[in-house]
Amino acid sequence: MPYVNIKVTREGVTREQKAELIAGVTDLLTRVLQKNPALTHVVIDEVDLDNWGLGGLTVTEFRRGKP
Amino acid sequence: MPYVNIKVTREGVTREQKAELIAGVTDLLTRVLQKNPALTHVVIDEVDLDNWGLGGLTVTEFRRGKP
Amino acid sequence: MPYVNIKVTREGVTREQKAELIAGVTDLLTRVLQKNPALTHVVIDEVDLDNWGLGGLTVTEFRRGKP
Amino acid sequence: MPYVNIKVTREGVTREQKAELIAGVTDLLTRVLQKNPALTHVVIDEVDLDNWGLGGLTVTEFRRGKP
Amino acid sequence: MPYVNIKVTREGVTREQKAELIAGVTDLLTRVLQKNPALTHVVIDEVDLDNWGLGGLTVTEFRRGKP
Amino acid sequence: MPYVNIKVTREGVTREQKAELIAGVTDLLTRVLQKNPALTHVVIDEVDLDNWGLGGLTVTEFRRGKP
| pLDDT tens-place string over residues A25-53 | 999 999 999 999 999 999 999 999 999 99
Domain E3-64: homologous superfamily in CATH: Macrophage Migration Inhibitory Factor (3.30.429.10)
F9, containing H or E segment: strand F3-9
Tell me the sheet residues that pair with C17.
Answer: none
Give the pLDDT confidence of F26-65 residue by residue, as tens digits: 999 999 999 999 999 999 999 999 999 999 999 999 998 8
Domain F3-63: homologous superfamily in CATH: Macrophage Migration Inhibitory Factor (3.30.429.10)
Query: For position D66, what pLDDT does the model report?
Result: 63
Distance from B57 to chain C by nearest Cα, in Å? 13
Domain spans in chain C, listed from the N-terminal domain onward: 3-64
CB contact under 8 A, B37 and D53: no
With a cut of 60, say whether residue E67 has pLDDT above it.
no
Is C15 within 8 Å of E52 (Cβ atoms)?
no
- Taking the C-alpha atoms of residue F53 and residue F67, their distance in angstroms, rounded to an integer, is 15
Is A3 within 8 Å of E4 (Cβ atoms)?
no
SS in 3 state form for chain B?
CCEEEEEEECCCCCHHHHHHHHHHHHHHHHHHHCCCHHHCEEEEEEECHHHEEECCEEHHHHHHCCC
ipTM for the predicted complex comes to 0.96
What's the Cα-to-Cα distance from E9 to each of A24, E25, F20, rounded to whole Å? 20, 18, 32
Q: Which residue from F49, B3, F34, D3 is spatially nearest to A45, judged by alpha carbons?
A: D3
Q: Which residue from A63, F56, F38 is spatially nearest to E23, judged by alpha carbons?
A: F56
Band of residue F66 on the pLDDT scale cut at 50, 70, 90: low
Tell me the sheet residues that pair with E44.
Answer: E6
CB contact under 8 A, A35 and E1: no
Supply the DSSP symbol for F29.
H
Contacts of A58 in chain D (CB under 8 A): 15, 18-19, 22
- Give which of B33, B36, B40, B50 to mutate to test C binding, by max C Cβ within 10 Å: B33
- If phi > 0 it is left, if psi is from -120 to 50 it is alpha, else beta; for residue D7 that is beta
Contacts of B8 in chain C (CB under 8 A): 1-2, 29, 33, 35
CB contact under 8 A, C22 and E47: no
